[in-house]
Structure 1
Amino acid sequence: MNDLSFVLVIFFVTLGPIKVIAAFAQLTSQLPDGERRALALRSTLIATAVGFLILFIGDNLRQNWQIASPDLLLTGGVLLLIGALEAVKNAQHAPAPDAPPTSAKGLAMSPVTFPIIITPYGIVALLLFAAVAGDTRTFLTGVFGIFLGMMVADFLAMIFARQLLGFIHAGTLMAFGWMIAVLQAALAIHAIMSGLQQYGVVPGPLPVVP
């Protein structure tokens, strides 16, 4: 858990740009380019500020409420698994899309920042890595650096969402979505098993994620 390469994988799955492209393109299909770019920038700044607060303030709340790392592992694992199952279900039975809004007013906070950019399991991941970091500021700085990089990737994904959808075949993007869902389910099981192992329910160390 205290490996930055593992942080990168978790953040890519929970906060990465793959899930942003289609959702943002559909939501802003009726908006002019200027409003779409402004919405992407505003939402990215809000999401970055939220991530900063979670990493550096939310962890203090976790400590005050005496929530241990194994608790977060189990909670994050359950949320990751639920999210993965919902992604697979939605891919098989796509719901009828709502009519896209014709104005960007009120969209920055919801649904763009929450839940398109910042997902519930992304919040748990931020809290978890803040808990793992503890007083190790170097690791915490690395976590925040990776988070910032993911926010930049999300911003670029929103800015170029229409071009990307024109370049990438819809089936290819769907396949990537399934791949992310499978990785998310595997990470969910790993998190749950790690939490159970820390509680002593599962004996022995878990295999190290490369």
Structure 2
Amino acid sequence: MDIGFAIKVFTALFAIMNPIANIPVFLSLTSGASDAARRRIALTAILGVTVGCIISAVAGQAILHVFGLGIDDFRLAGGLLILLIALSMVHGSPSSQHASTPAENGDLADRNAEDMAVYPLTIPLLVGPGTITSMIILGHEAAVSGQAIAFGIGLGAFLLLLSAGLFAAPLIGHYLSAKATAITQRLMGMILAAIAMQMMLASLQHVFMSRS
């Protein structure tokens, strides 16, 4: 087992979902909800993230084949998408790929807090295009290199951290300043940009080698 690959999976998920930056969002969406309701919302979101990540990693490549796409085609396009998300994070602006639109958010005030666990908390805030792209690519790498265990460890470690962050969000929110959130967002954006460049370079390298 390559522990480095497990760290890569954990880092990619942490950078793109950024639990620290999303704690204020979670608290805002669940404003006025009881502690018990917040725990139910957190549990629903965690289950949704787990299912979304596993499905993307396991079935992602098969879905690509249905559309006649290879993993290198997707790695290049996905790397570009993740790079755009990373640049938004570096500049301190929310990514449109991982946020609902104003029109979609128009009725949030009238919705039950539990309904927000799936939308917009799980999709698209946590499991958006960037997360799905990362899972498909990393899932393929794990299958090809025989690193399924390392992939599972990295994913499991992140889900534990995400669970701890959401369940402890009310407590963490008292000590989490806007400045700390902004710094974390920019730092994760830089890491995510490096991961995106690695994806695109690997895809281009494979294309050039196949043609030489």
TM-score (norm 2): 0.80
Higher helix share: 2
Structure 1 runs not aligned, ≥5 long: 202-210
1:154 maps to 2:162:
yes
Contact 1:31 1:103 in 2 (8 A): no
1:6 maps to 2:15:
no
1:177 maps to 2:181:
no
- Deviation string, structure 1 residues 120-147 (Cα, Å, up to 9, x no partner): 111111111222223555x123212321
Partner of 1:31: 33
Q: Which whole-Å CA distance do the structure 2 matches of 1:100 and 1:85 have between them?
A: 30
Q: CA RMSD in A?
A: 2.8
Indicate how the Cα distance of structure 1 residues 148 and 16 shifts in structure 2: closer, same or farther if over 3 A, else same.
farther
1:90 maps to 2:98:
no
Segments of 4+ moved more than 6 angstroms: 96-99
Q: Which whole-Å CA distance do the structure 2 matches of 1:58 and 1:191 have between them?
A: 16
Partner of 1:129: 138
Aligned residues: 197
Q: 2:43 aligns with which of 25, 41, 50?
A: 41
Deviation at 1:68, TM superposition (A): 2.3
Deviation at 1:33, TM superposition (A): 1.2
Residue identity opposite 1:108 in structure 2: A
Contact 2:57 2:137 in 1 (8 A): no
Q: Which whole-Å CA distance do the structure 2 matches of 1:42 and 1:147 have between them?
A: 17
Q: 2:81 aligns with which of 72, 79, 82?
A: 79
1:167 maps to 2:175:
yes
Q: Which whole-Å CA distance do the structure 2 matches of 1:44 and 1:101 have between them?
A: 24
Deviation at 1:54, TM superposition (A): 1.8
Contact 2:10 2:154 in 1 (8 A): yes
Indicate how the Cα distance of structure 1 residues 136 and 194 shifts in structure 2: closer, same or farther if over 3 A, else same.
closer
1:110 maps to 2:119:
yes
Q: Which whole-Å CA distance do the structure 1 matches of 2:114 and 2:17 have between them?
A: 24
Deviation at 1:40, TM superposition (A): 0.5
Contact 2:60 2:136 in 1 (8 A): yes
Deviation at 1:156, TM superposition (A): 1.7
Residue identity opposite 1:161 in structure 2: A
TM-score (norm 1): 0.80
**TM alignment of 1:42-61, pairs within 5 A:** 42-61=44-63
Identity %: 20
Q: Which whole-Å CA distance do the structure 1 matches of 2:149 and 2:17 have between them?
A: 18
Residue identity opposite 2:132 in structure 1: I
Deviation at 1:193, TM superposition (A): 1.8
